[in-house]
Amino acid sequence: MTGSTVDTGDPVAELARRFDGGVADVDELVTALEAAGIDDRAAARRYGLPSVFALGEAVLTRLDRPPARVPRPRPYLWAAVRRSALLLTPVACALAAAGELARVGWAVPALAAVLGWAAARGGAYATAGVPLVAAGCALVPAGTDRWQAVAVGLTGYALVAGLGAGLRWAVPAWLAAGLLLTGVWDRVEALPVAAGLMLAGAVLVRAHAPVTGVAAALCQGAVAVLVWRAAPDAAVLASGVPLLVFLVRWHEARAATAADAHDGVGAFHREVRDLGTVTVGALVPPLVAGVALGAAAYRLPYGLSGHPGARGLVLAGAAVLLLGGVLALTALLVARGRRVVAALVAAGPLGALAAGGAPLPATVAALAVTYLVGLVLTAHTVFDPERY
């Protein structure tokens, strides 16, 4: 004991007396508190503090010992840039190999995208999915070059699955796509090699496959394919989807330190309320814009109403906006531990498949309804302090 004077009139001061002289810094004290059975819930109920870390800081303050560090939000900007670039890699390569995709039919890249989206969750899925994609490529329509179908399918699968790797593994894919799009090079065979490098990076970076979240990932891939099939000419518009990655990364960075950055439950609740307000508020404009575009597609000005592709282009823009919002909602729900709800939200737009009629209007309507329901569920989640 060091003999520090503490006031024993409150529970925090009693903890200060108990641990006086036995800890060197806040990290050691938090470890000791958790070993004594005090978790975040106990810290809030017994001591009126939002987390064990905040309780440890309060105890050190009673001991006239300043905290070793002040929690700050994690940097997220560069991580968001990297993730956005990775998400855009398959789009760039798909544009570069548009001719090959047209010859093998839509089923091959669709199967590759759905399986690859789930494979991005871990290296084991990336390895196990290869024979499945190859088997699916064998079912392409008669008269199609089967080897070309296999090459295209495996390329798409590896590109999407390779999102689990670092950005450096995507550099060859971007170079190959850029050379093909600019006409400097005409050897599309370079794309499978670049995709293989991304897949190898995913297997090396992630040696195991987490089970949680795979259902949501499969549904996300299926919805992305649904939008692509309904609006194949809107591939360039998909570049706006990763912009919502910045919102998700920002939310995760703030949420990671929300409980530790405040000394009282009241301040913590205000932080959660402010964080939820900004998060939900940022997701409202894409919903409004998507619904407005969907309605405007049927009330085009006279000069555009006669153009055969005008309505489809406007509906494609609405679909891409709404798709980005649904994917962001899914990611936020997963981040807050609502994986089952996230899977249901991700699967919602697939109801357009049972609607019949024109696929693009049905897809836009299904995305809009799912977006609205998902936004309500996400708001209920991000405003709940128990989720942090």
Q: What are the boundaries of each domain within the chain?
A: 11-62, 77-210, 240-387
Q: What is the pLDDT of residue 139?
A: 62
Task: Please give the DSSP secondary-structure letter assigned to residue 210.
Answer: -
Confidence class of residue 291 from pLDDT cuts 50, 70 and 90?
Answer: very high
368, pLDDT greater than 90 = yes
**pLDDT class of 372 with cuts at 50, 70, 90:** very high
pLDDT value at position 270? 81
Looking at residue 119, its amino acid is A
User: Which residues, 6+ apart, have CB-to-CB distance to 252 below 8 Å?
Assistant: 74, 76, 335
Compute the mean pLDDT over every residue in the chain, rounded to the nearest whole number. Answer: 76
Q: What is the pLDDT of residue 21?
A: 63
Share of the chain above pLDDT 70, in %: 75
Q: Can you give the pLDDT at residue 277?
A: 93
Any idea which residue has 């309804």 for tokens? 369
Answer yes or no: is pLDDT of 377 > 90: yes
Instruction: Compute the radius of gyration of the chain from its Cα atoms.
Output: 25
Determine the pLDDT at residue 285: 92
Least-confidence region, from 4-18, 138-152, 280-294:
4-18
Region 45-61: what's the mean pLDDT?
Answer: 77
Distance separating alpha carbons of residues 93 and 107, to the nearest angstrom: 17
Residue 216 in this model has a pLDDT that exceeds 70: yes
Q: Is the pLDDT of residue 236 over 80?
A: no
Return the higher-pLDDT residue of 209 and 335.
335
Residues 6+ apart with CB under 8 A from 181: 92, 95, 96
pLDDT score, position 7? 43
Q: What per-residue confidence (pLDDT) applies to 367?
A: 92
Q: 370 falls in which pLDDT band (50, 70, 90)?
A: very high
2 falls in which pLDDT band (50, 70, 90)? very low
- The answer to whether the CB of 251 falls within 8 A of the CB of 382 is yes
Query: By percentage, how much of the chain surpasses pLDDT 90?
Result: 9
Confidence of residue 5 (pLDDT cuts 50, 70, 90): very low
Residue 375's pLDDT is what? 95
What are the counts of helices (DSSP H) followed by strands (DSSP E) for the chain? Answer: 18, 0
Q: Which residues lie below 8 Å from residue 9, measured CB to CB, with a gap of 6+? A: none
pLDDT in tens, 339-348: 888 888 988 8
Q: Residue 209 above 60 pLDDT? A: no
Q: Is the pLDDT of residue 320 over 50?
A: yes
**Banded model confidence at residue 4, pLDDT cuts 50, 70, 90:** very low
Q: Quick count: other Cβ atoms within 10 Å of Cβ 137? A: 25
In the chain, alpha helices (H): 11-19, 26-35, 40-47, 52-62, 77-96, 98-104, 107-119, 123-137, 146-161, 171-181, 190-205, 214-230, 244-256, 265-296, 302-305, 310-335, 339-347, 359-382
Q: Which residue has the higher pLDDT, 72 or 270?
A: 270
> What are phi and psi for residue 184, nearest 5 degrees?
-70, -30
Q: pLDDT tens for residues 249-287?
A: 888 888 877 766 655 667 777 888 888 999 999 999 999
The residues near 384 (Cβ < 8 Å, ≥ 6 apart) are: 272
- Other beta carbons less than 10 A from residue 331's beta carbon: 23
Q: Name the band, by pLDDT with cuts 50, 70 and 90, for residue 379.
A: very high
pLDDT at residue number 122: 53
Which two tokens mark 170?
A: 């995507």
Q: Give CA–CA dist 294/276, Å, rounded.
A: 28
pLDDT over 90 at 130, yes or no: no
Regarding predicted confidence, which is higher, 223 or 236? 223
- pLDDT value at position 331? 86
Is 273 within 8 Å of 254 (Cβ atoms)?
A: no
Mean pLDDT of 207-231: 68
Mean pLDDT highest for which of 30-34, 114-118, 138-142, 169-173? 169-173
The dihedral region occupied by 78, where left means phi > 0, alpha psi between -120 and 50, and beta the remainder, is alpha
The pLDDT score that the predictor gives to residue 148 is 76
Give the number of other Cβ atoms within 10 Å of residue 201's Cβ. 21
Is the pLDDT at 74 greater than 70? The verdict is no
pLDDT beyond 60 at 195: yes
* Residues 6+ positions from 155 with CB-CB distance below 8 Å: 93, 97, 112, 191, 192, 195
Q: Taking a C-beta distance cutoff of 8 angstroms, is the pair 271, 264 a contact?
A: no
Q: Model confidence at 292, in pLDDT bands (50, 70, 90)?
A: very high
